Structure 1
Amino acid sequence: MTGFDFLVGEWDVANRRLRDFLDPGSGWDHFGATSRCWSLFEGAANVDEMDCPERGFRGMTLRLFDRETREWSLNWSTGGSGRLDPPVRGRFRADGTGEFRGEDAYAGTGVCVRYLWSGIDERSARWEQAFSVGDERGWVTNWVMDFTRRN
């Protein structure tokens, strides 16, 4: 199973996030975070918790591997919401890049959501979130996290 074993452990995370997730001209906020991830169910699930003290929030992702469909379901939540956002689903390709898609809403607008995991090695990884309104052709990358493993 190709999955999220690479993410288990502790990380420093450099975040770059658009101020308005649908407006590429809205400007980027930059902030740091820490993340820790642990595995469950022999690697078929994991949980990570991200602490963003500069922004005053914590988030978590619950990832579950469906052994029947061979797809991952990724479910995000923040401490302030108390609920899981709609999942994105997908898998890792042979080149090690993971692509996961789903549907959600942002500021009252329905959006298609895409997560990409890339540049994965022992010491680093990159996660990107993009939204598209309607057609899945005009993706706006609105949040990028660069992970660096802590010693």
Structure 2
Amino acid sequence: MTTKTTGYGDFDFLIGTWEVTNRRLLAPLTGRTGWDTFPGVSICTGRIFDGGANLDEIVFPTKGTRGLTLRLYDPERDEWSLNWAASPDGRLTPPVTGRFGPDGHGEFQGDDYHEGEKVRCRYLWSGISATTARWEQAYSTDSGQSWETNWTMDFQRLAG
């Protein structure tokens, strides 16, 4: 059996310590446009499974909470699953799956729930360099025909 290995190492750019500027929509899917901006510090561990997995923890010091993302590469499907958990409840949300395109942007989608209602969830990774990266989360209530971005994270690598 031949396995595809094109996705191995896709998230290696994230290894290290990052200062993160978070911008989160206060009331997603309500039509309101108020945002909360707050800091974070993310630490992503070294290569796991030879680049086929990675794990990071983000601390939100002004919120008193933390988040954790586990990313796993499936070589048979040539796609990643991104799995998020937050410290207040300790539960994994349903994963989003996808891959990076030739332009270096990553798109990952999956089904989720927001306040008890089923939504389509999308993560986008862009602006990736040695010192920067950007992540966005959006929800869709019409099966991906339209999206509302509700959280952005701008990453700046910390020296060290």
Q: TM-score range by the shorter chain?
A: over 0.9
Asked if 1:116 is matched to 2:93, the reply is no
CA distance in 2, matches of 1:17, 1:23: 14
Asked if 1:144 is matched to 2:149, the reply is no
Tell me if the contact between 1:14 and 1:146 (Cα under 8 Å) persists in the aligned partners: yes
Asked if 1:17 is matched to 2:24, the reply is yes
1:134, distance to aligned residue in structure 2 (A): 2.7
Q: How does 1:79-98 map to 2 (within 5 A)?
A: 79-98=87-106
Unaligned ranges ≥5, structure 1: none
State the TM-score, normalized to the length of structure 2: 0.91
1:20, distance to aligned residue in structure 2 (A): 1.2
Q: How does 1:63-102 map to 2 (within 5 A)?
A: 63-102=71-110
Q: Deviations over 1:16-57 (max 9, x none)?
A: 000012234240000000000013111100000000011111
Q: Name the counterpart of 2:15.
A: 8
Tell me if the contact between 1:33 and 1:52 (Cα under 8 Å) persists in the aligned partners: yes
Report the AA paired with residue 35 of structure 2. Answer: W
State the TM-score, normalized to the length of structure 1: 0.97
- When Rg is computed on C-alpha atoms for both structures, the one with the higher figure is 2
Q: CA RMSD in A?
A: 1.0
CA distance in 1, matches of 2:97, 2:32: 28
CA distance in 1, matches of 2:31, 2:72: 31
Unaligned ranges ≥5, structure 2: 1-5
Report the AA paired with residue 127 of structure 1. Answer: W
Q: Name the counterpart of 2:51.
A: 43
Q: Name the counterpart of 1:28.
A: 35
Match of 1:54 among 62, 73, 76: 62
Q: Deviations over 1:76-135 (max 9, x none)?
A: 001121221100000000000000000010011100000000000000000000000133
Aligned pair count?
151
